[in-house]
Chain A
Amino acid sequence: QSALTQPRSVSGSPGQSVTISCTGSNTDVGGYSYVSWYQQYPGKAPKLMIYDVSKRPLGVPDRFSGSKSGNTASLTISGLQAEDEADYYCCSYAGTYTFRVFGGGTRLTVL
């Protein structure tokens, strides 16, 4: 099972919005509503930011939102802040053989 495809890097200025895409197939992203997004700072464990495509865990700012269209999921961060600079990974359930697949990760730079 190939990793989900994410852009290697995105950037934006404080206050702007950025969107990170996550492209899979109809056997993972397109086939289930179990897409999640994780934020990871260097040297730290990943942190859940979005689950079930568009749900936010308690404590995650509403600047973070998720969506899905066909085989592509997206994470949008609005009102960019310096603290948002991190790596972001998408993850999807992929059925009863592979179970889960991660994206390759996207480095977000806040200019």
Chain B
Amino acid sequence: EVQLVQSGAEVKKPGESLKISCKGSGYSFTSYWIGWVRQMPGKGLEWMGIIYPGDSDTRYSPSFQGQVTISADRSINTAYLQWSSLKASDTAIYYCARAPSLAGTLDQWGQGTLVTVSS
């Protein structure tokens, strides 16, 4: 069974750093892209970026370029999304999702990670 399991909810203060994870299982992790999607409270889905764990090729949405860093460790089948300095506006649920190609659909989703940034 294909699964993407994300790390647990986080509560952070503005200015703190954070790295959340997405672990894939049940498929060849290095043969699929992993994308990240933000959903702010009560809002819609927003595309953030995508990485190919096979060679770490990474692409960002212009809206998120420079704001977050996407990475992957193929030795443990895990992708990451990280912030160096969180803002209150980063409060959201973050989903990872698998894609068979750079342009292909997001066919399997993680359960989401709630990030709350508050002083």
Which residues of A pack against B, CB within 8 Å?
A: 1, 3, 32, 34, 36, 38, 40, 45-48, 51-52, 57, 89, 91, 93, 96-105
B59 touches A99 (CB 8 A): yes
A36 touches B106 (CB 8 A): yes
- Considering the complex, which residues of chain B in the window 68-84 have a beta carbon less than 8 Å from any beta carbon of chain A? none
Across the interface, A102 reaches (CB within 8 A) one of B44, B103, B105, namely B44
How many B residues, CB 8 Å from partner? 25
A99 touches B44 (CB 8 A): no
What distance in Å separates the Cβ of A83 from its nearest Cβ neighbour in chain B?
19
* B99-119 interface bits toward A, Cβ cutoff 8 Å, 1 = contact, 0 = none: 000111111111110000000
B111 touches A52 (CB 8 A): no
Sample 20 A-B pairs with CB under 8 A, ordered by A number.
A1-B61, A1-B63, A34-B105, A45-B109, A45-B111, A46-B95, A46-B97, A48-B106, A51-B104, A52-B105, A89-B45, A97-B62, A98-B62, A99-B61, A100-B61, A102-B44, A102-B46, A103-B44, A105-B44, A105-B45
Across the interface, A100 reaches (CB within 8 A) one of B44, B47, B109, namely B47
A51 touches B107 (CB 8 A): yes
A98 touches B61 (CB 8 A): yes
What distance in Å separates the Cβ of B59 from its nearest Cβ neighbour in chain A?
6
